[in-house]
Amino acid sequence: MPLLSVEDLRIAFHGRDRVVEAVKGVSFTLEAGRTLAIVGESGSGKSVTALSLTRLLPDPPTCRVSGAIRYGDREVLGLDRRGLQALRGKEIAYIFQEPSSSLNPVFTVGDQIAEAIRLHLPEVKDVRGRVVEALRQVGIADPERRHAAYPHELSGGMQQRVMIAMALACRPRILVADEPTTALDVTIQKQIIDLLRDLRASAGMSVILITHNFGIVQGFADEVAVMYRGQIVENGPTEEVLRHPRHPYTRALIGCIPRLGVRQDRLATIDHAAIAREMAAGA
Amino acid sequence: MTAPVASTDAPLLEVKNLKVHYPLRGGFLKRVVDHVRAVDDVSFTVARGRTTGLVGESGSGKTTIGRALIKLAPITGGSIRYAGAELTGLSNRAFLPFRKRVQMIFQDPFNSLNPRMTVEGIIREPLDLHFPAMSRADKRDRVASLLRRVGLEAEHMHRYPHEFSGGQRQRIGIARALAVEPEFIICDEAVSALDVSVQAQIVNLLQDLQAELGLTYLFIAHDLAVVEHIGDHVLVMHQGKLVESAAAEEIYRDPKDPYTRRLLEAVPKLAV
């Protein structure tokens, strides 16, 4: 049985004079210990899908979610406040793109990690010890001293490590990483991906990686789902999708990435009209 | 890529021993205790009609160089010669003609456009400054043709920045930079905040404009793959120093500096 299964997920935002269907019937499953990458561009619905997993979206009537999201034996869409509280952070935790705007600037990073531990794991006696351990786990040197640092005293890469420490302090079963490295330099990007890979293995955790960059998917995700205009247009084992993309959008998305050492006169772009024609012809 | 304009031997821009140091103050009298060497003794040239890529990570000093070139960062020492004329030490007034010839495109299309101005106002502002004699109707015509040139529509001039996507906003930023017919454009992380497919469109647009208008680019970015694609020549910055300078195809095939090698290794590679 999969750890998480999403079936025919639909998410619509109701504005004053129009309805935007952000997600139009998405289904996928995640097995324990596996990593799924959801790849798509801005507006494809990938982040909204991620947020819906613990109902972090606005309440109706602004936002309506339908379908099924099953985590173990729980139906997430049927949970009450208390049920969601037990799910968020403790079972499914998140890290986001911009660590500087996810951290509270007026509290030390240690206080912020401690808050998460006290909320989700009230049985833990030595909170400070757990904070120090969490910081050490994400490779922050001298955690006994660094836990007293404020976010602005840390670099972007260090801030993202703190976010990861905070997410992992409660030992969640699923980590949702929404563009975790997009705001970081390439060398730091590699460090964070390597760190996530190590932690995933040592904690036996599942990961959902949300990204627009196929480059970080390879070698990290077991499976990939490609999202385009609110739907999953292709999914499968990562290597198979990358080497033999079946959907025209997947081919286009892979094609427009500049490659080191491959001189091209022009970069390929995505011809949405052609994709629409191919999709209509294939349907 | 072949250069559209025959590049003459004399470079358009010549930077020699450029230093930008910021004082660090400490102690109870706030005395200067040390300096941050944001740019430390950097020399390079930029060929006319070509694209020079400038790569480095956050804090490497790459953005400071771009800003120093247009007098947005204080220069501690060294010389900047543009088309043979020395730019350091000029007063703001004496510098104004160069500000017309050198324009800048910024990273964040969300923060670099004034949200309270219409697109027309945004693109017209540099015209008001540099072409005070131009009539209002002529300015409006120029705005309309610039919008079409960057792949937008003339009617878009009446809208506000929030009505556009990230890629479209970057097109507006490019139209603003082109308004005063510059010869040299500094692109500071101009495509870093965009999705890959939109990034490809903007890179292609910049290359088309270069071919058509004979523009010279200094393309500042942290993404080596993009810089290698668009650049004829690539400069690598690390901790305020220039560690490598080579032709774009060389830098990948035969990186000399260990830092360049590390940077190349860290770039996510797609094997398909």
Contacts of B238 in chain A (CB under 8 A): none
Neighbours of B251 (CB within 10 A): 28
Contacts of B203 in chain A (CB under 8 A): 258, 267
Q: Across residues B131-150, what is the average pLDDT?
A: 96
Whether A55 and A76 have beta carbons less than 8 Å apart is answered as: yes
- Cβ separation A256–B197 shorter than 8 A: yes
User: Angle formed by the axes of helices A186-203 and A156-168, to 10°?
Assistant: 10
Give the model confidence (pLDDT) of A58-77 as tens digits: 999 999 999 999 999 999 99
DSSP-based three-state secondary structure for B29? coil
pLDDT above 90 coverage of chain A, percent: 74
Q: Which residue of A has its CA nearest to B261?
A: A187
In this prediction, residue B124 carries a pLDDT of 96
Q: In angstroms, rounded to a whole number, what is the distance separating the alpha carbons of residues A222 and B150?
A: 40
Q: In angstroms, rounded to a whole number, what is the distance separating the alpha carbons of residues B32 and B231?
A: 39
Work out the pLDDT band at B29, boundaries 50, 70, 90.
confident
Q: Across residues B176-198, what is the average pLDDT?
A: 92
Q: Across residues B151-158, what is the average pLDDT?
A: 96
Residue B182 has pLDDT above 90, yes or no: yes
Give the model confidence (pLDDT) of B201-248 as tens digits: 999 999 999 999 999 999 999 888 899 999 999 999 999 999 999 999
Question: Which residue in the block uniquely carries the two structure tokens 């993202």?
Answer: A160
Work out the pLDDT band at A93, boundaries 50, 70, 90.
very high
In this prediction, residue B2 carries a pLDDT of 47
Give the model confidence (pLDDT) of B93-121 as tens digits: 999 999 999 999 988 777 889 999 999 99
If we measure between CA atoms, which residue out of A164, A180, A200 comes closest to residue A96? A180
Residue B63 has pLDDT above 60, yes or no: yes
Which of A124-128, A260-264, B92-96, B166-170 comes out lowest in average pLDDT? A260-264
- Cβ separation A186–B57 shorter than 8 A: yes
Q: Hey, CA dihedral for B223, B242, A193, A106, is it positive or negative?
A: negative
If we measure between CA atoms, which residue out of B32, B199, B1 comes closest to residue A215? B199
- Cβ separation B201–A269 shorter than 8 A: yes
In this prediction, residue B227 carries a pLDDT of 93
Residue B76 has pLDDT above 60, yes or no: yes
Between the alpha carbon of residue A275 and those of residues A238, B187, B203, B224, the distances in Å are 22, 31, 22, 29
Q: In angstroms, rounded to a whole number, what is the distance separating the alpha carbons of residues A56 and A33?
A: 23
**More reliable by pLDDT, B111 or A232:** A232
What average pLDDT does chain A have? 93
Concatenating the DSSP letter of every residue in B137-166 gives: HHHHHHHHHHHHHTT--GGGGGS-GGGS-H
What is the value of ipTM here, to two decimals?
0.81
- Cβ separation A260–B228 shorter than 8 A: yes
What average pLDDT does chain B have? 91
Reading the block at residue A83, the tokens are 């049920």
Residue-wise burial string across A77-116, b where 16 or more C-beta atoms lie within 10 A, e elsewhere: eebeeeeeeebbbbbbbbbbbebeebbeeeebbbebbbbb
pLDDT above 70 coverage of chain A, percent: 100
Which stretches does DSSP call E strand in B63-211?
A: 77-82, 85-86, 102-105, 184-188
Preceding peptide of A61 cis, ω within 30°: yes
Domain segments of chain A as ranges:
4-91+172-282
Q: Which CATH superfamily is domain A4-91+172-282 in?
A: P-loop containing nucleotide triphosphate hydrolases (3.40.50.300)
Contacts 24+ apart (CB under 8 A), B138-141: none
In this prediction, residue B91 carries a pLDDT of 93
What are residue A46's phi and psi, to 5 degrees? -70, -40
Q: Across residues A206-233, what is the average pLDDT?
A: 94
Q: In angstroms, rounded to a whole number, what is the distance separating the alpha carbons of residues B66 and B187?
A: 9
Which of A269, A270, A272 would you mutate first to test chain B, the one with the most B CBs within 10 A?
Answer: A269
In this prediction, residue B8 carries a pLDDT of 56
Which residues, other chains included, contact B136 with Cβ-Cβ below 8 Å and sequence gap of 6+? none
Work out the pLDDT band at A283, boundaries 50, 70, 90.
low
Which residues, other chains included, contact A136 with Cβ-Cβ below 8 Å and sequence gap of 6+? A143
Reading the block at residue A95, the tokens are 């890290």
**More reliable by pLDDT, B255 or B29:** B255
Q: Across residues A164-187, what is the average pLDDT?
A: 91
If we measure between CA atoms, which residue out of A258, A256, A247 comes closest to residue A283? A247
Q: Closest to A258 (Cβ–Cβ): which among B229, B253, B265?
A: B229
Residue B3 has pLDDT above 50, yes or no: no
Q: Closest to A258 (Cβ–Cβ): which among B222, B225, B272?
A: B225
In this prediction, residue B1 carries a pLDDT of 47
Q: In angstroms, rounded to a whole number, what is the distance separating the alpha carbons of residues A226 and A235?
A: 6
Give the model confidence (pLDDT) of A107-120 as tens digits: 999 999 999 999 99
Q: In angstroms, rounded to a whole number, what is the distance separating the alpha carbons of residues B206 and A264?
A: 15
Contacts of B250 in chain A (CB under 8 A): none
Residue B7 has pLDDT above 80, yes or no: no
- Determine how β-strand A4-14 pairs with β-strand A19-30: antiparallel
Residue A168 has pLDDT above 60, yes or no: yes
The torsion defined by the Cα of A95, A192, B188 and B47, in degrees rounded to 10, comes to -160
Quick one: DSSP state of residue B87? -
